[in-house]
Amino acid sequence: MKLRDVGEFALIDRIERAVRRAGIGRSGVVLGIGDDAALLRLRAGEDLAVSTDAVVEDVHFRFANESARSIGRRALAAALSDLAAMGARPLGVVAALAAPPSLSLARAEGITRGLVEGARRWQAPLVGGNVARARQTALTLTVLGAVRRGRALTRSGARPGDRIFVTGTFGGTALAVARAARGARMRAAPEPRLAAGLALARLRGAGACIDVSDGLVADLGHLLRASRVGARIDPARVPRPPGFAAACALLGVDPERLALAGGEDYELLFTLRPEGPGAAALQRRLGVPVAEIGVVTQGRGLRPLTSRRLPGFRHF
């Protein structure tokens, strides 16, 4: 069964039913799927945070080596990661699916299932969407969140002397991509660091924050430019997943390159004023592993303590 056999409105009905079955907590949802727009409610003293993100077939995912469900779920994790980086709590998600009429209904519904599962897991109800015909399957997600006024984390909040931290480990998704390129199934289930972002936004002495989607070096570059500062980082202190070096050796890929330039781990990269808590205390506050990897400097530019060239992923 293909999309062309069920039609646009039947597909939307099926998605609507899947969302209703999931029964996601809808405290902030005044009006969900089915009208010209969804209605969401913020609490007093909150601002709206909004971000949009797209994944495209054969660019960001391949049906050949990943389940449709994983594609939908990963796309939502990626989008929500931007809310995590602002210290926002999710309010809802709208999804625009573009797909060829020849796409199987199973794949379209698989993507939806992954989305709905992620929506429940991360408390970000799917409140609206759009379906359109296209030659390639693509999913554009816009995430809506709420932040306390004046307390949002931004890319521009770093100052010289700030210490630089990261959550979690780096290179895991790049390793999964490298394996998938050699025929393995794509296995990566990144978690947007929503609770950690919220805790960080409450922390006295928080500086700048960004989520690492393009790669650690690339995203640190974005943060530094926005803050008009520089940094020095120690690549050896960037945490990697267990067994990472051995797995990279087996595959013949450079572990340092994967950890520093590989993207889509969706960890948080942030800075704290020098007098703030250390990594151990932070780890307790944020509820995730935290490592200190460097320091913000007055001079512009990023000076890693390595001479290797570490290009990030570029879309064009």
Q: What residues from 148 to 167 belong to the interface with a copy of itself (CB under 8 A)?
A: 149, 152, 154-156
Query: What are the structure tokens assigned to 240, written together?
Result: 């990697």
List the one residue from 14, 18, 22, 31 that touches a copy of itself (CB under 8 A). Answer: 31
Residue 111 engages a copy of itself in binding (rule: CB under 8 A): no
Q: Which among 79, 154, 153 has a CA at the least distance from the CA of 122? A: 79
For 123, other C-beta atoms within 10 Å of its C-beta total 17
Question: Cβ of residue 6: shortest distance to a copy of itself, in angstroms?
Answer: 7
Count residues near a copy of itself (CB under 8 A). 72
C-alpha to C-alpha distance for 118 and 12, rounded to whole angstroms: 19
List the one residue from 33, 38, 68, 296 that touches a copy of itself (CB under 8 A). Answer: 38
Residue 85 engages a copy of itself in binding (rule: CB under 8 A): yes
The span of 89-97, 163-171, 288-296, 299-307 binding a copy of itself (CB under 8 A) equals 89-97
Q: Which among 82, 84, 81, 80 has a CA at the least distance from the CA of 93? A: 80
Question: Cβ of residue 290: shortest distance to a copy of itself, in angstroms?
Answer: 19
The span of 28-36, 181-189, 232-240, 303-311 binding a copy of itself (CB under 8 A) equals 28-36
Angle at 193 between CA 69 and CA 26, to 5 degrees: 65
Residue 30 engages a copy of itself in binding (rule: CB under 8 A): yes
The three state secondary structure string of 42-91 is CCCCEEEEEEEEEEEECCCECHHHCCHHHHHHHHHHHHHHHHHHHCCEEE
Whether the CB-CB separation of 210 and 222 falls below 8 Å is answered with: yes
Question: Cβ of residue 205: shortest distance to a copy of itself, in angstroms?
Answer: 20
Whether the CB-CB separation of 110 and 70 falls below 8 Å is answered with: no
Whether the CB-CB separation of 163 and 295 falls below 8 Å is answered with: yes
In the bound state with a copy of itself, the residue whose beta carbon lies nearer, of 88 and 233, is 88
Question: Cβ of residue 189: shortest distance to a copy of itself, in angstroms?
Answer: 21
50-69 binders of a copy of itself (CB under 8 A): 50-56, 59-60
Angle at 297 between CA 292 and CA 298, to 5 degrees: 160
1-20 binders of a copy of itself (CB under 8 A): 3-4, 6-9, 11
C-alpha to C-alpha distance for 103 and 295, rounded to whole angstroms: 49
Question: Cβ of residue 132: shortest distance to a copy of itself, in angstroms?
Answer: 5
In the bound state with a copy of itself, the residue whose beta carbon lies nearer, of 36 and 275, is 36
184-243 binders of a copy of itself (CB under 8 A): 209-211, 226
Residue 47 engages a copy of itself in binding (rule: CB under 8 A): yes
Residue 124 engages a copy of itself in binding (rule: CB under 8 A): no
C-alpha to C-alpha distance for 285 and 88, rounded to whole angstroms: 16
In the bound state with a copy of itself, the residue whose beta carbon lies nearer, of 166 and 248, is 166
The one-letter code for the residue type at 61 is: F
List the one residue from 24, 75, 76, 95 that touches a copy of itself (CB under 8 A). Answer: 95
